[in-house]
A and B are shown apart, each in its own frame.
Chain A
Amino acid sequence: MKKILVANRGEIALRIMRTIRKMGIQSVAVYSEADRYSPHVLYADEAVCLGAAPSSQSYLNGDKIIAFCKALSVDGIHPGYGFLSENADFAQKVEDAGITFIGPGPEAMRVMGSKLAAKECVKHYNIPMVPGIDKAIEDVNVAKKIAAEVGYPILIKASAGGGGKGMRIVEKEADFEEQMQRAVSEATSSFGDGAVFIEKYVSSPRHIEVQVVADKFGNVIHGFERECSIQRRHQKVVEETPCAIMTPQLRKQIGDAAVMVAKSCNYVSTGTVEFLMDDQLNFYFLEMNTRLQVEHPVSEMITGLDLVEEQIRIARGEVLRIKQEDLVINGHAIELRVYAEDPLNNFLPSIGTLEKYVKPSGEGIRVDDGYEEGMTIPIYYDPLIAKLIVHGKTRTEAIEMMLQAIRDFKIKGVATTLPFGTFVFEHEAFFSGYFDTHFVKNYYSPEKLKDKQKANAEVAAIAALKNWFQKQEIVNAVDNKSTSWKRRLAK
């Protein structure tokens, strides 16, 4: 492979291109009219404009991307995450055009892309699954009946969904219709597929996922687990590895299960198998993400792997260079997703210009980002500004490093999830390791953040007032001196 096009934007496009360059390969960036100034465009060896800002006219235009690949003699496409990364039809078209798709084959993507087909696929491998219905439902009344049978609370999920889109928790029957309509409508607009299904809602669930890496020769290894339970709106904000409550025995079980899931669909490339874990440490297969995950850096930190490099090597047809027994966990890594969102206002997107943007640096600190000071966060895409990742010898050390790194991360102009990060990493539930996906609901309120800000504001106010008093004392002292001079002169 001599030239790879990265069909993505922002931090992930830049991160992928860094590895591409490291491997002596040329990189091609794509961009929309809103992203001309983006670092990924400036970093790439070549860059092509796809069109107007909305994703449908730019980053989702697969045919245009393939046409550019042909024109520029590109021999590989890396899709990143989101956009076309899990679009089996696109992957097929890429292969048909004689270009290597750096990711899994279209078939594995198709199976795992549908939560229902995925359940069907892994059924025969003795992998535990959450109780529920494994068929798509459209009729509200039928759905209601099934929900009653499964027992409330239930979860309505889009079959083609991900990232919390098209997903709704329903606590009681009275809310069912409205929630189902919203789920179907969201699923239709986000994924073009309105199929939903119903699952029992596991209370106190932890979200644990396992990184897998598979080559084209049937070798599959796992790169341990990631704990991703700290979420808002069903979307992850904080991820860490290893999971604080994992035992070596449980790690082996869940790791083996993940490898089996990958094998069940003849998976190739890096992927992530997601599990729910209840408070009794029972785990259930949730779904498989057939792409490079947003939170992949934490796994890279503790394993020493460059997952993008592995993807490219696998796509080139190389045999995995590492065996399961070669992988050991080195230290502890935590990631905080820095979103342009206001934690004081329901985590709603906070759009604006990065008037100030200074990132932390130092040993064990990694920042994957796609913005620079002065840039505006566009409304058209995910509001992720950066991923702040720390790697310490122990979990406690990593938490302390993270708190300091957040203090050193200076962003002005938009509200961000940084103060929320401080809240999480200072919280005793997080510190103890015993928390679940309800962390935000159970512990967080904007008032708590506000109280803390108020306490800090008060300290700032006192300091400023003290400073002012000191200045006045100097002024007064000068005045006194001059009057005594006058007095002396008068004598």
Chain B
Amino acid sequence: MSDKTYSIKANDFTFLFTEDEIKATDSIRKPNGDFNLIRNNKSVNAKLISASITGKNAIVEVEGENFEITIKDELDQMLEVMGFGIATTKHIKEIKAPMPGLVLEISVIDGQEVKEGERILILEAMKMENSIMIPADAIIKKILVKAGQAVDKGQVLIELD
């Protein structure tokens, strides 16, 4: 019996497994090094594309998609908690451009109170006009762009209070 837990990051996903859980999975390793897992009666293949010497970092391909894997054992997890223990609460402080494009119209002014879902500006990209809505109630602190201005992806358009 082992209840050692592992935190595994695979691209944007994080999974927690105990050693027993992993050992209980129905998986085999073929002579060529590929894995096959049977989960909920589904037969799925996984190919180890590359792995670090320790095996803690790896790239695994499943159904054509590559996943970058980082394995953290209990010690790694403990170190992480100590280092980044204080999580910051998420607060919307600004509106960023979700894609590069051209600001077509700004529908708000400095100091205006806006309700969730209200349109604040129109961004044209790839010849399509996209209405940018506000994700939560807020007050417009400062508008940093002008109509007609080209913006990059991730550029801050509007500061909020």
Q: Name A's B-contacting residues (CB within 8 A).
A: 165, 182, 185-186, 189-190, 233, 345, 348-351, 379, 381-383, 406-410, 412, 419, 422, 453-454, 456-472
Contact = CB atoms under 8 A, between A and B. Distances in A.
Interface centre among B35, B64, B66 (most CB of A within 10 A): B64
B69 A464 contact: yes
Interface stretch (B8-16, B75-83, B110-118, B139-147): B8-16
Contacts of A186: 128-129
Top 6 closest A-B pairs, CB basis? A407-B64, A460-B60, A460-B67, A457-B10, A468-B55, A463-B46
Nearest to B35: A463
B93 interface: no
Interface string B34-57: 010101000010101001001110
A178 to B, nearest CB: 9
A466 B22 contact: yes
A128 B104 CA distance: 39
Interface centre among A350, A422, A471 (most CB of B within 10 A): A471
A381 B127 CA distance: 8
A348 to B, nearest CB: 5
A460 B10 contact: yes
Nearest to A233: B128
Given A351-B99, A465-B17, A459 B55 contact: no
11 contacts: A348-B125, A379-B101, A457-B13, A457-B67, A459-B37, A461-B8, A464-B55, A464-B58, A465-B6, A469-B22, A471-B54
Nearest to A418: B64
A191 to B, nearest CB: 10
Nearest to A405: B64
B46 A406 contact: no
B67 A461 contact: yes
B88 interface: no
Contact of A461 (B15, B51, B66, B125): B15
B124 A189 contact: yes
Interface of B: 6, 8, 10-11, 13, 15, 17, 19, 22, 25, 27, 29, 35, 37, 39, 44, 46, 48, 51, 54-56, 58, 60-67, 69, 71, 98-101, 104, 124-130, 153
Contacts of B48: 463-464, 467
B71 A464 contact: yes
Given A379-B125, A465-B8, A456 B62 contact: yes
B71 A458 contact: no
B99 to A, nearest CB: 5
Nearest to B73: A468
Contacts of B46: 459-460, 462-463
A466 B13 contact: no
A347 to B, nearest CB: 10
Contacts of A185: 104, 129
A382 B126 contact: yes
Contacts of A381: 126
A8 B34 CA distance: 45
A9 B63 CA distance: 33
B63 A468 contact: no
B11 A457 contact: yes
B2 to A, nearest CB: 11
Contacts, number: 130
A466 B33 CA distance: 11
B13 A453 contact: yes
B27 A466 contact: yes
B22 A345 contact: no
Given A465-B22, A467-B35, A468-B71, 13 more contacts: A186-B128, A350-B99, A379-B125, A412-B66, A419-B65, A456-B62, A457-B15, A460-B61, A464-B8, A464-B58, A466-B25, A467-B48, A471-B54
A459 B22 contact: no
A155 B103 CA distance: 26
Contact of A383 (B15, B64, B126, B130): B126
A408 B29 contact: no
A377 to B, nearest CB: 11
A349 B99 contact: yes
Contacts of A470: 29, 55
A351 B27 contact: no
Contact of B100 (A379, A459, A468, A469): A379
Nearest to B65: A456
Contacts of A408: 64
Interface centre among A185, A233, A408 (most CB of B within 10 A): A185
Contacts of B124: 189
A345 B63 contact: no
A357 B69 CA distance: 21
Contacts of B125: 348-349, 379
A413 B13 CA distance: 18
Nearest to A82: B127
A90 B69 CA distance: 54
Contact of A471 (B10, B25, B55): B55
Given A165-B127, A457-B10, A467 B58 contact: yes
Nearest to B119: A178
A380 to B, nearest CB: 9
Contacts of B128: 165, 186, 233
A349 B99 CA distance: 7
Interface centre among B17, B19, B67 (most CB of A within 10 A): B67
A466 B17 CA distance: 12
Given A456-B62, A456-B63, A458-B13, A463 B126 contact: no
A192 B135 CA distance: 33
B66 to A, nearest CB: 7
